[in-house]
A and B are shown apart, each in its own frame.
Chain A
Amino acid sequence: MRAPSQVTARVVAIEPAGAYQLLTLAAPTVAAGSEPGQFVAVAVGGPVTSMLLRRSFALYTADPGTGLIQIVVAEHGPGTAWLVRVEPGASLDVVGPLGRPFRLPPEAGTAVLVAGGYGSAPMFDLARRLRAGGSAVHMVIGAGSAERLFGVDEAHAVADSVVVLTDDGSRGIQGLVTRPLPQLLGPAGASMVYACGPMAMLEAVGAAAASHDVPCQVAVEESMACGIGVCMTCVLPVIGADGRTRMLRSCVEGPVFDAERIRWKDVGTLPADVLGADAMVVH
């Protein structure tokens, strides 16, 4: 893993991809050392912006050869509204690569990759790397509706099998991404699960994987003020190897965590047994 850098990245292309905009940026130092699951933090609003905090996006592609990176941006609030309207040739202030990537298995096996919405962005590079290491890859891609699916065609190119689902049935099977999991994780099934998407989905996928005793890595999405580990806003309760729960920073200790380590029900609360929670009671 390479240290992050801050670069002025030129917008090479911006094109619609369903409900999203696909941004291609020239950012050689970011492209050089990044791995799937890592993200970039982009300044929004231009040089005199009143939006001080960077917006985080998972890396979809990163090509050290061309120096290009790509991100998939969903318009959400004012920051992403600005970002999806940048013009080719414009410059963006980008910090990356950030965070810990998905870990590849020590030996080849069968991987199930589960993605919700733009959460599929980091999964294609991951699938390629898993396949290059000899693993079989099955992808489950879901979204609220057809236009919020990202990369279905590419999924067919990089995976051994693909299941597509939408909440409203507008494409693929109607239902949630957890629906095909019992079959994929069953007795002769997977040796590892990777997931990226909304927190509720990650929790459900983690639970499904646990019930089949399959290890599961998830890339979480927490509100981040700095993205580089200095502000302590992006924490969630994670159980350590010593059995103690700590508030870990998802920007530097994540965004990829073992699903079984995350105290899902306690995210957004302060459980009394978290390390240092006793000190909070006093003041």
Chain B
Amino acid sequence: METSVSMVTSLADVTLPNPVLTASGCAAAGRELAPFLDPAELGAVVTKSVMLLPRSGRATPRMAETPSGMLNSIGLQGPGIDAFLAHDLPWLAERGARAVVSIAGGSVGEFAELARRLAGAPGLAVLEVNISCPNVASRGQVFACDPVAAADVVRVVKAESDVPVFAKLSPDVTDIVGIARSCVDAGADGLSMINTLLGMAIDTDTLRPVLAGVTGGLSGPAIRPVAVRCVWQVHAALPTVPILGMGGILTGLDALQFLLAGASAVSVGTAVFHDPCAPVRILAELRAELAGRGFGRLSDVVGLAHRGLQR
């Protein structure tokens, strides 16, 4: 019975065999997960946000565990786009894994340059634009919190790119629908949501912030209701825009909530730290839950929770 559910989904015009992906920054570039799962079995591998130059990341401590979640302040440590193109993307392509490549920049120009460098790269299925980065030009204000800056980034990336472009939204805004609309108007083919929420923890023994970066991004099941709400609101306002949903997904039923809210696929992030097999386990659980509810196709549940509701 279970195998009869069609799990096929799509992100804009890219068809994926199933809707469960990794989350940027929670699977590196897939290689370290190979002992635990076959990256080609996932809908896609979403790679750690890559920037133009190699980045050291921040000082430690970079993490703090919090109730049903964690704070992280990594600072986008990474090898830079040259090493990524030489070593990471080919590894995924050789294994038949689809790559959603996340890019991050400190300026509109850096985003454009990254998209240009990635154009035509084998294995690249979708570009995810991590706009939750400080914009150097506006004294570090985060792109994702400014509809104009967010749109500027999306526009230049879209112009350079030959694959669908997904803008990754931050929940730390008063009107996520407004930012979503502005990204879509600028050409975004879809939206990834949500990134982490800004949080903080203080060590009551040292009487100082736990993280060297003082504040950090909150992730894990603690943020799931916020994430489901964001997906819900954006899908209600922009029902034709594909959404890659994420935030605290730990089980197949958690994933189902995101699909019902309007996501076409989901990313599994922090859960991988708890259970390195989480993405494949969640896929199997989701399949069984769909079968158990009598659904023959995954696409039948996307946005289903909206149906028949008065607005």
Interface residues of A (CB under 8 A from B): 3-6, 43, 50-54, 93, 95, 222-223, 225-236, 246-247, 252, 267-270, 274-280, 282-283
Q: Is B198 an interface residue (CB 8 A)?
A: no
Number of B positions contacting A (CB below 8 A) = 50
Question: Which of B56, B63, B67 touches A277 (beta carbons < 8 Å)?
Answer: B56
- Does A223 contact B63, Cβ atoms closer than 8 Å? yes
In the bound assembly, the distance between CA atoms of A219 and B272 in angstroms comes to 25
User: Once A and B bind, how many residue pairs between them come within 8 Å at the CB atom?
Assistant: 134
Q: Which residues of B sit under 8 angstroms from A93, Cβ to Cβ?
A: 275
In the bound assembly, the distance between CA atoms of A232 and B33 in angstroms comes to 14
Q: Is B59 an interface residue (CB 8 A)?
A: yes
Interface residues of B (CB under 8 A from A): 25-28, 32-36, 48, 51, 53-63, 65, 67-70, 72, 74-75, 77-78, 80, 106, 133-136, 140, 212, 220-221, 270-277
B239 → A minimal CB distance (Å): 33
- Does B65 contact A270, Cβ atoms closer than 8 Å? no
- Does A52 contact B53, Cβ atoms closer than 8 Å? no
* Residue of chain B at shortest CB distance from A272: B56
- Does B69 contact A231, Cβ atoms closer than 8 Å? no
Beyond A53-B70, A53-B273, A270-B58, list 6 extra A-B contacts (CB 8 Å). Answer: A225-B65, A228-B33, A232-B57, A233-B62, A233-B74, A282-B136
Asked if A280 meets B70 with Cβ closer than 8 Å, knowing A53-B274, A226-B273, A247-B77, the reply is no
Q: Which residues of A sit under 8 angstroms from B65, Cβ to Cβ?
A: 51-53, 225
Give the residue among B55, B56, B134, B273 with the most A Cβ atoms within 10 A: B56
- Does A52 contact B77, Cβ atoms closer than 8 Å? no
Asked if A235 meets B106 with Cβ closer than 8 Å, knowing A50-B68, A54-B273, A228-B276, the reply is no
- Does A275 contact B60, Cβ atoms closer than 8 Å? no
In the bound assembly, the distance between CA atoms of A279 and B53 in angstroms comes to 7
Q: Which residues of B sit under 8 angstroms from A52, Cβ to Cβ?
A: 65, 68-70, 220-221, 270-271, 273-274
